[in-house]
Amino acid sequence: MVIHNVDPLKCKGCGKCIESCGLELWELVDIDNGKKRARVIPGAGEICHTCRSCESRCPEGAVTLIDEE
Ligand code: SF4
Ligand code: SF4
C-alpha cells in the first residue's frame, strides 16, 4: 500500500499529476477561493503500481509517495 501525500502549500492545481498517471488515479477537487487541489481518488491508491510518475512530474514538488507496510 502506498500513500500519496500532496502538500497543500505547494499544489497549484495544474493537473500534471493527472496527465502523468496511466491508471487515471488522480482528480482535482475544489478548495477555497475557486482554487483546485489534486488528490488520488479515494480508494484508488490501492491499485497504484508505484511508477512514481506523479511524484516526478509535479512541477511544484508537491507529491510524495510514502510506502506503508
Ligand atoms: S502536478 Fe503537483 S501542483 Fe500540479 S495538480 Fe498535481 S500535485 Fe498539484
Ligand atoms: S505512482 Fe504511478 S500509478 Fe501510482 S498514482 Fe502515481 S502515476 Fe499513478
C-alpha cell at 47: 491499485
The pLDDT score that the predictor gives to residue 6 is: 98
Q: How far is the CA of 54 from the centre of ligand 1 (A)?
A: 8
pTM assigned to the model: 0.93
Indicate which atom in ligand 2 lies nearest the CA of residue 57.
7
Averaged pLDDT of the chain: 95
* Confidence (pLDDT) at 3: 93
**Does pLDDT of 69 surpass 80?**
no
10-40 residue pLDDT tens: 999 999 999 999 999 999 999 988 999 999 9
| Whole-number Å distance between alpha carbons of 47 and 35 | 28
Name all domains of the chain by residue range, CATH numbers in brackets. Answer: 2-67 (3.30.70.20)
Ligand 1 pocket residues where CB is under 6 Å? 6, 11-17, 38, 58, 60, 62-63
Give the whole-number percent of the chain exceeding pLDDT 70: 100
Query: Residues near 48 by Cβ (< 8 Å), separated by ≥ 6?
Result: 2, 4, 23, 25, 40
